[in-house]
Chains A and B, each alone.
Chain A
């Protein structure tokens, strides 16, 4: 991984939404899964929007363009904002890979990575700005 990591304040995600992310990631395993997390006007995560991985690959993802467009339109219409982009690493550590860092075009949202190679699976939270990765502790709340 390029860039250094800095620990940031914790990020809170309802545990039901974390389960929703993990369930979706498990459902498309061994392919990588991907999707968006929307936040309401108060900035609280409010919805998980799974998006098809157009590459159907176990090591790469790219959101299906039309579904991504529709998801962004839904955010706009609901008055939501993009809170996080999630994807899975079915076999490897849930940390940004060089590919994740190179293709991170959204510096203002969280990148959630679900690692499915451990039991139980884990989700970690990062921001990626200009190639620099920062991890935030992810706290699951009820």
Chain B
């Protein structure tokens, strides 16, 4: 089952400038694994060496942040839309 994954501008170089791709997977973890196999290099931008989501990466399924669901194990169903959104942060110090 493939669902739409929205790719943010900072990662579009890795997806051939596509702002949306379709990816298979029953959970976010599976989708990220398949993304990496199709677009090498994207996986390490999203998850750290232990496979956990990087602190400044937010992933939404439809309208919900996966951190408030089951994290990377959040289940995906047909018609869901996955959005990858790098945090916007900084500051004077």
Contacts and interface: CB of A to CB of B under 8 A. Distances in A.
Interface stretch (A9-17, A19-27, A53-61): A53-61
A93 to B, nearest CB: 9
B9 interface: yes
A82 B9 contact: yes
A136 interface: no
B59 to A, nearest CB: 10
B23 interface: no
B92 interface: yes
Interface string A88-126: 011110001101100111111100000000000000000
Interface of B: 8-10, 56, 58, 60, 65, 83, 85-93
21 contacts: A59-B91, A60-B89, A60-B91, A61-B89, A61-B91, A62-B88, A65-B65, A68-B87, A69-B60, A87-B90, A87-B91, A91-B92, A99-B90, A100-B91, A103-B56, A103-B89, A103-B90, A105-B10, A105-B88, A108-B10, A109-B9
